[in-house]
Amino acid sequence: MFKIIKKVVLGPSLTLFEVSAPEIAARVQPGQFIILRINDQGERIPLTVADFDRSRGLLTLIFQEVGRSTKDLGKLAAGDGILDLVGPLGKPSEIDKLGRVVCIGGGVGVAPVYPITRALKQIGNEVISIIGARSKDYLILSEEMRAVSDSLQITTDDGSAGQKGFVTDILQQVIKADNAIELVMAIGPLSMMKAVAEVTRPYHIKTMVSMNPIMVDGTGMCGACRVAVGDKMKFACVDGPEFDGHLVDWTIASLRARMFLKEEKIAMETYSCGGDGNCQNQR
Amino acid sequence: MSKSKIRPPRQAMPLQDAQERVKNFEEVALGYTEEQALIEASRCLACKKPLCVDGCPVDVDIPGFIKLIQEKNYSSALAKIKEKNNLPGICGRVCPQESQCEKLCVLSKKDKPVAIGRLERFGADWISTVTQPAEKVVSSGKKVAIVGSGPAGLTAAADLAMLGHKVIVMEALHTPGGVLVYGIPEFRLPKSIVQQEIESIKRLGVEIQTNMVVGKINTIDELLAGGYDAVFVGTGAGLPYFMNIPGENYNGVYSANEFLTRTNLMKGYLFPDYLTPIRTGRKVAVIGAGNVAMDSARTALRLGAAESTIVYRRSEKEMPAREEEIEHAREEGVQFRLLTSPVEIVGDENGWVKALVCQRYELGEPDESGRRSPIPIPGSEYEMEMDTVIMAIGQGPNPLVSQTTPDLAVNRWGNIVAEEESGKTSKPGVFAGGDIVTGAATVILAMGAGKKAARAIHNYLLHE
């Protein structure tokens, strides 16, 4: 059992857990992820690590409730245990001193981009950060991001915080103002990461994205998480999760994300019925 | 034994009816009754020089345990098997006895061989509810890490524990057992049997740590520096192969590993009570004809597929699956499209599989494997309507351990190089065995390798 030490509700269906996992906390690097399983019936849920405290042996996990399993996770409270937690998985981000870099986080994707941003800053880069969300309520870690960036700009779809629009609008401006950008690191929804890659492509700015495909074991054993990168088939769990955004086949990636849509709906129906399959009162 | 005595026929294994069993995940082979076991045991000639034992990769005293069954001394029969084999319920079910012990049984010259595997299973099942106290062994003060809890690792762990060493098994998944748990389906090997046999290994003092991905949470070098006197690597064939044909990323294309892991380890067949989904379409093609392919094709039918077809580029004779598995698959309605191999997977506008383009093959001269090599017939391409394609063309070695252990030699396929008789690798104190060394093979060969390595590790620890 892995104990939840602290729970913070960050926004509508956005939750932060601090989980006691000393061995993993001692080892994890920015960009890596863990897989957890709530209970014996549960799915294996991959989550990118948002932060870690090596001295206290804690991992920070931030997730959005998007389906049955993440809803179940959101019901847990501080003091509860998570049955299984395995990691660190995947390759760490490459953290090099490059010069000027841009770190972009969208939605819950701000969580994994945060430790990468911090590491890029610590090694001596000039870090321009852009974070975005649907609206003010969905915006997370803005103060934390500000603290590890040379500048931070915020966008929301509805203009309730920062500039109205998308992270790519700001990215365009940043690139036009100064093209000496060595790296763009973008984590968020597929559509956002694809849009970022399209913005940087004509400028040949190296753009890394973190893929979060459907996954089972997370150790390279099942091949569910395959991503088409250039002309190669890669496994996000062991070859990634970060890949060159200009080489990722975004069409295949978004189609593959829909593999179990029907089943996800069925699982949600059993959830709204309290899991006992007796839905009659609610229909 | 009097020569006039008529030998009874080899006892058939009672099976769940094919029409019934294809609708459930219950075990297909039901096991001998006591009466059947006694009749079958009576067929053994108790050869002075038992050839069957030569065919057993772990040297079980076969006539010895069969004699104890004849005497109805079932607990001693099981103890006799366990002198050499700590996974009898598993081996009795999944070993290819027909190409090992039973192949060498003298009876097979004129009659059918003694059903050694079925008797082994009987011995294991009969007594499985009885808790056997572990014998106290003197501690050697040495500590061994076992990486991977599949057949190789569990066997090495049990043998080393019985020799007095402290053994810690590290398993990447949340449940121990490796391929016994994620790969082989419930209907062929019930997970309760695997669990029981793992429990009995734990009673020997073996500690199993789950959720431990060696190569990520730690490295072999750190284990050796951190108090372990030796390490055994039995990480198996955990890297699925695809064919590199167009369309393999469409939805509805699975590796057999994914298809079986979702179903077996994650219990996807109980969705949504268990939350991991598995989707089988109406028309399923399984590429390959080994045991994993048969398991996949039979699982697809149980999950509700209307048609499940094995697609294989050689002919029936070359199919690598056990004859029994092929027979069971056929009884259940699995179809076979032989001398055929896919060249492309066709998808619809939503990215789902809709057809498989195949090419016909003919057999040419024998290749290096001794089997006649398949040769494609130009212009023979044709399309089959399909909505699910499962790739069961083999698995490679998982690279997580070798990537993080620079001085551990691997061959050009990524398999760890290890001496066959000892499992000794290029790195002092590190031994390896099972599929990670040989490439995908059988449970019992992995167990044999685990056994040899345990012996070699014991010697290494004594002379270190």
- The pLDDT value recorded for residue B405 is 96
Query: A277 is written with which tokens?
Result: 């399959």
Alpha helices (runs of H) in B269-343, residue ranges in sequence order: 291-302, 323-332
Provide, rounded to the nearest whole percent, the portion of chain A with pLDDT above 70. 95
CA separation for the pair B390, B255 (Å, rounded): 6
Q: Determine, yes or no, domain membership for A242.
A: no
Query: B393 is written with which tokens?
Result: 């063309």
A120 and A171 share one domain: yes
Residue A276: pLDDT over 60: no
Chain position carrying tokens 């599929």: B435
Residue A244: pLDDT over 90: yes
- The pLDDT value recorded for residue B379 is 95
A129 and A84 share one domain: no
A204 and A122 share one domain: yes
Exposed e or buried b per residue across B51-64, where buried means at least 16 C-beta atoms within 10 angstroms of its C-beta: ebbebbbbebbbbb
Contacts of B350 in chain A (CB under 8 A): 255, 258
CATH number where A175 lies: 3.40.50.80
Helix (H, G, I), strand (E, B) or coil at B378: coil
pLDDT digits (tens, 9 = 90+) for A172-182: 999 999 769 99
Q: Quick check: B172 and A224 CB within 8 A?
A: no
Helix (H, G, I), strand (E, B) or coil at A256: helix
Contacts of B388 in chain A (CB under 8 A): none
Q: What is the mean pLDDT of residues A121-127?
A: 97
Least CB–CB distance from A23: residue in B217, B277, B351: B217
Query: B297 is written with which tokens?
Result: 């094709």
Q: What is the mean pLDDT of residues A20-47?
A: 96
A122 and A155 share one domain: yes
Contact criterion met (CB below 8 Å) for B116 and B105:
yes
Q: Quick check: B211 and A252 CB within 8 A?
A: no
Domain residues for A10?
2-89
Q: What is the mean pLDDT of residues A2-27?
A: 96
CA separation for the pair B395, B242 (Å, rounded): 9
Q: Determine, yes or no, domain membership for A77.
A: yes
Q: Determine, yes or no, domain membership for A241.
A: no
The CA-based angle B337-B341-B343, given to 5 degrees, is 135
φ/ψ region of B426 (left if φ > 0, alpha if ψ in -120 to 50, else beta) reads alpha
CATH number where A44 lies: 2.40.30.10
Helix (H, G, I), strand (E, B) or coil at A35: strand
Least CB–CB distance from A222: residue in B255, B267, B279: B255
CA separation for the pair B32, A11 (Å, rounded): 60
Residue A283: pLDDT over 60: no
Nearest Cα to A87, choosing from A30, A43, A23?
Answer: A23
Alpha helices (runs of H) in B55-172, residue ranges in sequence order: 62-70, 74-82, 88-94, 101-104, 116-127, 151-162
A153 and A83 share one domain: no
- Strand B395-396 to B239-240 pairing: antiparallel
Contact criterion met (CB below 8 Å) for B62 and B55:
no
Q: A167-177 and A190-200 are packed helices; what angle lies between their axes, rounded to 10 degrees?
A: 20
Average pLDDT of chain A to the nearest whole number: 93
A171 and A223 share one domain: no
Contacts of B279 in chain A (CB under 8 A): 259-260, 262-263
Q: Quick check: B239 and A222 CB within 8 A?
A: no
A15 and A77 share one domain: yes
> Which residue in A has a C-alpha nearest to residue B244's C-alpha?
A233
Contact criterion met (CB below 8 Å) for A138 and A131:
no
Q: Look at chain A and report how many structural domains it folds into.
A: 3
CA separation for the pair B401, B415 (Å, rounded): 11
Helix (H, G, I), strand (E, B) or coil at B266: coil
Contacts of B257 in chain A (CB under 8 A): 221-223
Q: Which helix (H) or strand (E) is A82 found in, with range?
A: strand A81-82
Q: B291-302 and B323-332 are packed helices; what angle lies between their axes, rounded to 10 degrees?
A: 20
pLDDT digits (tens, 9 = 90+) for A83-96: 999 999 999 999 99
A282 CB burial (10 A radius; 0-12, 13-18, 19+): exposed
- The pLDDT value recorded for residue B128 is 59
Out of A67, A89, A111, a domain closes at A89
- The pLDDT value recorded for residue A138 is 95
Q: Quick check: A44 and B276 CB within 8 A?
A: yes
A219 and A206 share one domain: no
Q: How far is CA B401 from CA A94, A233, B97, B214, B228, in A?
A: 21, 21, 32, 6, 16
The answer, for A27 touching chain B at a CB cutoff of 8 Å, is yes
pLDDT digits (tens, 9 = 90+) for A132-169: 999 999 999 999 999 999 999 999 999 999 999 999 99
Contact criterion met (CB below 8 Å) for A22 and A57:
yes
Chain position carrying tokens 């620890």: B461
Q: Alpha-carbon dihedral of residues B311, B312, B318, B321, nearest 10 degrees?
A: -50
* Amino acid in position A199: V
pLDDT bin (cut points 50, 70, 90) of residue A281 is: very low
A107 and A196 share one domain: yes
A163 and A230 share one domain: no
Query: B102 is written with which tokens?
Result: 């039973």
Out of A44, A70, A89, a domain closes at A89
pLDDT digits (tens, 9 = 90+) for B134-179: 667 889 999 999 999 999 999 999 999 999 999 999 999 999 999 9
- The pLDDT value recorded for residue B88 is 92
- The pLDDT value recorded for residue A270 is 78
Q: How far is CA B407 from CA B83, B227, B403, B436, B438, in A?
A: 35, 19, 10, 16, 19
Q: Determine, yes or no, domain membership for A272.
A: yes
Q: Alpha-carbon dihedral of residues B155, B159, B160, B162, nearest 10 degrees?
A: 140
Nearest Cα to A163, choosing from A199, A139, A147, A146?
Answer: A139
Q: Determine, yes or no, domain membership for A123.
A: yes
- The pLDDT value recorded for residue B438 is 93
Residue A126: pLDDT over 50: yes
Q: Quick check: B217 and A260 CB within 8 A?
A: no
Out of A89, A119, A134, a domain closes at A89
Q: Quick check: B351 and A258 CB within 8 A?
A: yes
Q: B34-42 and B62-70 are packed helices; what angle lies between their axes, rounded to 10 degrees?
A: 120
Least CB–CB distance from A219: residue in B267, B351, B400: B400
- The pLDDT value recorded for residue B133 is 55
Q: Across the 464 residues of chain B, what is the mean pLDDT of every consecutive 10-residue run?
A: 72 95 95 96 94 93 96 94 91 91 93 95 78 72 97 95 96 97 96 93 95 97 97 94 96 97 96 93 96 97 97 94 94 97 95 96 88 92 97 92 95 95 96 94 91 96 86
Contact criterion met (CB below 8 Å) for A97 and A124:
yes
A84 and A164 share one domain: no
Nearest Cα to A138, choosing from A14, A18, A16?
Answer: A14
Distance from CA of B119 to the nearest CA of A (A): 34
Q: Determine, yes or no, domain membership for A175.
A: yes
A205 and A124 share one domain: yes
